[in-house]
Amino acid sequence: MSIGFLGPKGSYSYEAALKYKNENEEIVEFSTISKVIENLEKDNVERCIVPLENAIYGSVLDTMDAILEYQDIYIIDELIIDINHILMSKKKDSQIAKIYSHPQALSQCKKYLADKYSDVEKVPVSSTSYAALLASNESNTACICNMSCKDIYGLEVVDDKIQDISFNQTKFIVLSKKRNERKTYKTSIVFSTKDEPGALYKILGLFSMSEINLTKIESRPAKTKLGEYRFFVDVEGDEKEARIDRTFKMIKELCNEFRIIGSY
């Protein structure tokens, strides 16, 4: 068995994969989130783990868009990873002229960077660990990454806990081409409404009448025409529960598109 993750080694996705995998499972790195999920779709890995939502920055749009692109993948599990952003460089006392990191990490440390490195170039890259790899090969360069990158890439800590808000966690989801068979407690769906007055209101009303609690609702452009959206919704309960199955069937009649992304 193998699990795909966003690499290289040392990324938060790497930490999540190590935490989640079974003893005999192999973890396989890919350079972007879309490639992680694409290789799951092509059966090059049996499962994959990708970031979905950060407590500060919000949803990871690359993940949401990739889920929309591939129709036969399902969420089967989730886990939470504590995030501690650290500024590292090849030499602790070097003059920093450039800072690499993932766009979310740069955003989560915006105040710190503005206060201490306002004139330094900030360069977004595909992952925090790739930022560490780049910084390990360049002089006068730093990166924002996690502690595991220190030994992997031979870096020194310049500053610790630099995120603007101390409470910082990221939710990761595990994806598979097989649905869950075990009892689950949450179900994720995506749908687009018909172009008629009150369409979304009617759908949300069905959840309310069935006493189904929504834990998340978020929209993404449908990429069909301006003003059309797809809605990601998380509900409490298993898709096989009678009231949830019944409600989903009623909602499907009000939608142009309806898909269960997974119960987990």
Q: What would the pLDDT profile of 6-63 be if each residue is shown by its tens digit?
A: 988 998 999 999 999 998 899 999 999 999 999 999 999 999 999 999 888 889 989 9
CATH number at residue 56: 3.40.190.10
Angle between helices 61-69 and 33-41 (to 10 degrees): 20
Residue 147 belongs to some domain of the structure: yes
Residues 126, 172: one domain?
A: no
Residues 57, 71: one domain?
A: yes
Q: What local confidence, expressed as pLDDT, does residue 125 receive?
A: 95
Residues 68, 39: one domain?
A: yes
- Inter-residue contact 59 to 53 (CB < 8 Å): yes
Q: What local confidence, expressed as pLDDT, does residue 244 receive?
A: 96
Residues 254, 191: one domain?
A: yes
Residues 133, 240: one domain?
A: no
Count the Cβ atoms, other than its own, within 10 Å of residue 212: 18
Preceding amide of 8 cis, omega within 30: yes
Average pLDDT over residues 213-219: 95
In this predicted structure, the answer to whether residue 128 has a pLDDT above a threshold of 90 is: yes
Residues 139, 116: one domain?
A: yes
Q: What local confidence, expressed as pLDDT, does residue 238 receive?
A: 95
In this predicted structure, the answer to whether residue 262 has a pLDDT above a threshold of 90 is: yes
Q: What local confidence, expressed as pLDDT, does residue 229 receive?
A: 87
Residue 99 belongs to some domain of the structure: yes
Average pLDDT over residues 224-245: 91
User: Residue 226: which pLDDT band, with cuts at 50, 70 and 90?
Assistant: confident
CA dihedral sign, ordered 86, 89, 94, 97: negative
Residue 46 belongs to some domain of the structure: yes
DSSP 198: T
Residue 224: partners with Cβ closer than 8 Å, 6 or more residues away: none
| Residue after which a domain boundary falls, among 176, 206, 235 | 176
Structural domain that includes position 234: 186-263
User: Residue 156: which pLDDT band, with cuts at 50, 70 and 90?
Assistant: very high
pLDDT tens, 163-210? 999 888 999 999 999 999 888 999 999 999 987 888 899 999 999 999
Instruction: Select from 12, 136, 13, 193 the least CA-distant residue to 85.
Output: 12
Average pLDDT over residues 146-174: 94
User: For the chain, what is the domain count?
Assistant: 3
Residues 253, 206: one domain?
A: yes
Q: Give CA–CA dist 122/99, Å, rounded.
A: 5
